[in-house]
Chains A and B, each alone.
Chain A
Amino acid sequence: AQSVTQLDSHVSVSEGTPVLLRCNYSSSYSPSLFWYVQHPNKGLQLLLKYTSAATLVKGINGFEAEFKKSETSFHLTKPSAHMSDAAEYFCVVSDRGYSTLTFGKGTMLLVSP
């Protein structure tokens, strides 16, 4: 069985400071991992994905994530937050079986001026 734990329900940062959203996963297989972003009243948009190639993955809008198998983590980072980054972020795991996508509970990122 696969599962995802997002360690923070809310993260608050100031504009221009670094962002860290934490995600731990559990999977019976070598997983694929994704980060999706959901802006208010908008659909889910893919930020980045890990699929067993490079462990450091770069995504859109300056986000990146590092896959650490030993720690079963896939934390999302950005060097400098922008007001437009305020949204809810979901970590998602997909194993190599039936490709079911399992979501974490989400982390709401708040960015203050």
Chain B
Amino acid sequence: EAGVAQSPRYKIIEKRQSVAFWCNPISGHATLYWYQQILGQGPKLLIQFQNNGVVDDSQLPKDRFSAERLKGVDSTLKIQPAKLEDSAVYLCASRKGEGANTEAFFGQGTRLTVV
């Protein structure tokens, strides 16, 4: 079974520029998550989708971050404009079904450096 695919793997941008990340979850997985992992910290949830609906975006900085999940499959996360503190690894994960019992599968992440 193919895993969660993310691109790009690395991105370096200047502050105030915009950037977008892409995630392709495992086929058939209804739940999709975007996490932000700052160096030395645990992943922090940015947004959770159930199919193409948003379940939780309470920690998403909506003045600069946006995310969508087209047709309940692929997802993109955008930052505009980027700040220095956005430097982090952005992780996408997917999970089958709605229940809490199943494990989530994570992509390799996109490492963003804002200079």
Contact = CB atoms under 8 A, between A and B. Distances in A.
A43 B109 contact: yes
Contacts of A102: 45
Contact of B98 (A45, A99, A106): A99
Interface string B73-91: 0000000000000000001
Interface residues of A, number: 27
B31 interface: yes
B61 interface: no
Given A99-B95, A100-B55, A106 B42 contact: yes
A40 to B, nearest CB: 12
Contacts of A46: 103-105
Interface of A: 6, 31-32, 34, 36, 42-46, 49, 51-52, 90, 94-106
